[in-house]
Structure 1
Amino acid sequence: MRYCLMVALIFIVTCKAFAVTGSKTQEVLLLHSYHKGYKWTDDMSLAIDESFANRENVEIMSLYMDIKRIDTPAYLDALARLYKEQFPNRTFDLIMAADNAALDFVLMHHSTVFHNAPIVFLGINGFHPRLLRGLNHKITGVVEEVDIASTLELMLAMNGGLQTIFVLNDQSETGLAVKHELEKVIPYYSSRLNFEYVDNLDILAIKERVSTLNPENTAILFLLLFKDSTGKYFTYKESLQEVRAVSSVPIFGVWDFYLGHGVVGGKMTSAKAQGEAASKMALEILDGKSPDEIPILDTSPNVYLFDHNELARFGLKIPLHIGFHEIHNKPFSFYETYKSLVWSLVLLFLAGTAVTFVLATNVILRRKSEKELKSQLMFITTLLDTMKNPIFYKDVLGRYMGCNQAFSTLLKLPKWEIKGKTIYDLFPSAWAKEHALKDEMLLKYPNASSVDEATLHLPGRPMQHFVLHKATYSNADASVGGVVCIMDNITERIQQKQFLIQQSKLAEMGEMIAAIAHQWNEPLVELSAIVQDMEMAYYNEELTDDVVKAYVKDSMLQIQYMSKTLKDFRNFLKPSTQKKSFSVRTALSEITELIGRHVFYSNINLFVNFKPEFGDIMVYGYENEFKQVLLNIINNAKKKIINTYKGTDKVGIITINVYRNEDTTVIQIIDDAGEIHPSIINHVFDPYFTTTPGGTGLGLYMAKVIIEDKMQGRISVANGENSAIFIVEVPNCERVEKAPKVQGISTEEHLM
């Protein structure tokens, strides 16, 4: 038997050696436009090397054209002659061309120098299919585009008072391409921002100008600066460090190689992402796939990147709406790194009764520790029983192993009767099934935790709302032992919030009744005219069946219109019971139906602007409460305009702009009745704060509760030019659908 195993082992090793020896070595030429030591190029090479690390039969040869230092036609011709001499009979299985200069060079000498080898490009600015010169069947790759628009949006979000963007660039080939992208974006921001563009100054003049920038309303957009107007060459970090040394304003960028040398951050192109995406395509081609079967990646894989040191330097916060991002130079935080572990340990302490089962197995120490264990158990039991929150823990089979007095009181059962039962024995079947499934999912992840909001309706008792804080606990052998849960009763809080919301709605009823009066004015006039016409027709003996039917038809149209107004008013007062997807356009249309005439007769023009490319924008939340928020802000704007323009013939303007970001929809409500005084602008969302005589001070406070607490959105206010701007952000439906239920070892759900 031993000899058979030795023969089999020798056979396997021999076959493996033969397979490795017999496999053909594949050669890849990686041609870089720039030089070794340039961070962009080095990061790209590192990503490619890591992607090919497991391919023992692939050899990568890297060449550097060094065009940042010299890019004359004579130099490029000399390079072509050198490579032609270097590779007279050498045919590469694949050419990888990094950045524009390398791609142009490979395409120009594709047949004479590179023997028509397949091409994968990466890091290409200003891409257009005509750049490929008809070689589509031989070429594919990854486009590089700077995301200037997203970076400008980020700058505006991080600095509400931003007015001027100082743009630094050079006149290199890449710099001119980036300038072209900037020129396409500027028209969208010309009404909000002033742009000062510089690409023709020497470094001393640049530093002098930067040193005079106003830190209150200015930021720098650092695009590229490898050469100044004198032709002086800088490394990727030298120019940025020169500028940062004299700058008192934050610097933002669009290239990841500037991170860590003075930029706050931005939506940045990533050399690593470029290298990884291009390597994936290259490996597919080496495995036999044709380049024309691999689509060109025309969306640059850019990432939000930030430098913690620069954020701290200017006291800037990362906006909540940008989603995934990376922070460099972030100091180590034990709590942030091990947050789940810390909370799991806290909850495991509350499950101390489970530890007693492990300690009981230790016979040697049993007598010595029995008294201590008993005291500890009594202490923990007393501690749990003094807590007002119901607490319980279950094993992996879903059986209740213990609970505190609050949980026993909730179920109106003694503790001993609860022990050993399952959720199906104690709770309504639908509720039990739902939460048993959630517990099963939680038990799949050691040291997992979750936060789940749920409504409980036990027979013969009123409905109660709880937040369930759950975590798994472990046995001595590190296996999952079960689930611990703390129930936080939020019934009173929810009822109070709902009461305040309804109270806020009632505060709007005066405005609504006035709006209905305007809505009914014309139908009542029409009905009056119809009645008079009927009387006249009767006296003139013209009241035939057809005439009566016509009068009835006209009357019913007016009555139906008035009925619809009352129905809309009733729907506004009705609270939403659950979250759902709804159309922002429809919500705004219903609001303008209710108050449009009242606003018009108040000598105010109301404009609603939707960007057509977004179509019908769908959001997720409580529809009626959302409409209440918008109605409250519009009514406040109307009152402000009426008070400001009282006694004049000036027509007020309320503008509503609606657009969407990646995860949220933004509604801006702007009035032209002047700015909000700086002394009160930070208090407008405080409860019971009002500047209106007889006002309740609840409207904007409840707007904040609805948007931020109930819909997980954001509401803010800012001053514009002679205007006040209220900004409401709510989650898009797509963000809610894509949100994971379980993430790593921690899960969180919000059900309201």
Structure 2
Amino acid sequence: MKKILILISLVISLFAKESSKEVLLLHSYHKGYKWTDDISNAIEKNFNKYNNINLTTIYMDTKRVSNQNYYVKLKELYKEQFLNRRFDVIIASDNSALEFLIDYQNELFPKTPILFCGINYFDEKILEKNDMKDYISGVIEQVDLEKNFELISKLHPNLEKLVIINDKSKTGLIMKNDLNKLIPKYKNRFEIEYIDDMQMNELKKHVSNSSKNTALLFVLLFKDKTGKFFTYKESLEHIKSFSNVPIYGLWDFYLNYGVIGGLLTSAKAQGDAASKMALEILLENKKIKDIPILRKSPNQYMFDFNELKKFDINIQKYVDNYIIVNRPFSFYRKYKLLVNITIATMLVFIILIILMRANINRRKKLQRDLSNRLEFDKVLLDTIPNAIYYKNVDGKFIGCNLAFANLMGLNKEEVVGKNAFDFFPKDIAEKNTKVDEKLLKTLKTDTSEMALHFSNKEIKYFILNKAVYKNIDGRIGGIVCIMDDITERVQQKQFLIQQSKLAEMGDMVAAIAHQWNEPLVELSAQVQDIQTSYLLNELKDTQVEEFVNDSMIQIQYMSRTLNDFRNFLKPSTKKVIFPIKKALDEINEIIGKQVFYSNINMTFNYLDGENLVVYGYENEFKQVLLNLINNAKNKIIENFAESQIKGNIIINISKFQNYNKIEIIDDGGKIDEKIISSIFEPYFTTKKDGTGIGLYMAKVIVEDKMQGFIKVNNVGNNVVFTIIVPYKKD
């Protein structure tokens, strides 16, 4: 077990060692030099977020010592110092460090990526030396003189003179070259005095005599004319001590020591940008040649609060994004986010309290309105004569109006909690339950008819209009049903049907007379023949037997005719499935001979066989057929009365989707297009003695009672009545 633990520890340590990253930060200058320290702080801040990055920092101290012999000795020192170390990336701070690495990288750190920052006046040709182009990238340090000139001229619109203080160091001479290009552009706006060859005492005397409308631009002053060395802090403090005019700078390390500020080259920004490039190499495995050089220096507008206040300078009019140092403590400024959040939170709470109070008042008002509305709805429901009930998704009644309670002989409280089987017969309750289940799934509405038998032998007919209702939370609450009492309408329709039948009786009596005429003549002839044989004493037993047989056939035929007539008058009480052929045969028995003697051919075409059926009211349906055939017969007789042309009535029976179709076609002449759309309306007739209810009742029977469809149209000179009826239960 001990060996396993040791092995695991070794693996973990090897993995940790392999995953750790080594970075060398090589500074041109010394520790304590603010520019250098700010770069270091920015790099360390970004690297401290990652435990696997080890940073080694070295200072070349070239502000104090800077010659070739010194660089050779540094090379030998670093060669010995880093003999057994390998770095993943090297960061060079300022020009001296970069130039040193370009000269000696192949000896000290072969093929190691180098990132630079703080490089003044970068010349890309330097990368061609020792083939370093593919190993170097970084951030250029670039002083923006023109923007600082513009800033000074805007902040001091009455400026008469700008004094520029510089030295003759390598950087100072480069800056002088850039200033010489820029100064002519501003000479007409204010006087510009450039100083780089005075002793500190001379400079002190010269600056102290500056007029009111003068400003200083402090570029660099590490050495005066005598060669005396000053730190950046010392030189600026000397100038500040005897200057009574505003001083502007170009680097951020001069802040806090007397400069107002300006668009400053920031050491922190340089270090931040270089370290982020290093993280791309260390963490994202990017190749250094794929990281472009950042050529636009990340400069920032920075100002000293104390100096702005001293010279009463307002920068907000001219600068949008800026940083101010030495601002006096302000609780709001320091904890601005916290204060803003607190104020915003308090405002939100105040608004919420106001809204909640308004909401409470609104809810109280709504509650009163709702109570009033509920009371109103209760009275309204009880006032409605239609029986209304509503039940939940489980089929339990949860309420009703007074009309439903009275219909069931109960009070409203007794209805609650019951189900359909407590009020309706089993078959009706089962049918309603299935309808309810379907509605709860489809969320549609449903209309159906129902007949209720009461204990007093009274029958009432209702149309049930059902719909699903939802609760306030959007969930399905149940089903509401409005029962429309149509008993009087049903009775009225039944009366109209019977009235329509009575209207047909004249034609039927005539048809029966035609039917009986032949058997009566036959019976009369047989009676006379028997009488003659009897008188002549020639009557035989066989003659008597034949007479009886023939007479019974004629009597049975006449009796069957009467039965058909009686069945026609009898109303159907319920829907049944019956053969279409049977109905047509019975109609033919009644009026067939009358049609034949009217010089009309009546043809029955069973296009899909003779076994097609209809689901509906049999006698009422036969009434419809009889009415249509009689109308066709009468029209043919009326139009062909003076001619010997034989008329035709063709009846086609066929299937049509989930229905059966019957077409009654006659050639008695088309119906006037002006009235064809009105012939099914009640009491509409073109006959002198017509009632106008025949075709209306045909439509009621087919469409309302049998859920079918009837229509009429002209086809050429023929008229086609089409009946489409169901052949099975819904």
- TM-score band, normalised by shorter chain: 0.3 to 0.5
Q: What is the TM-score normalised by the length of structure 1?
A: 0.46
Q: What is the TM-score normalised by the length of structure 2?
A: 0.47
| Structure of larger gyration radius | 2
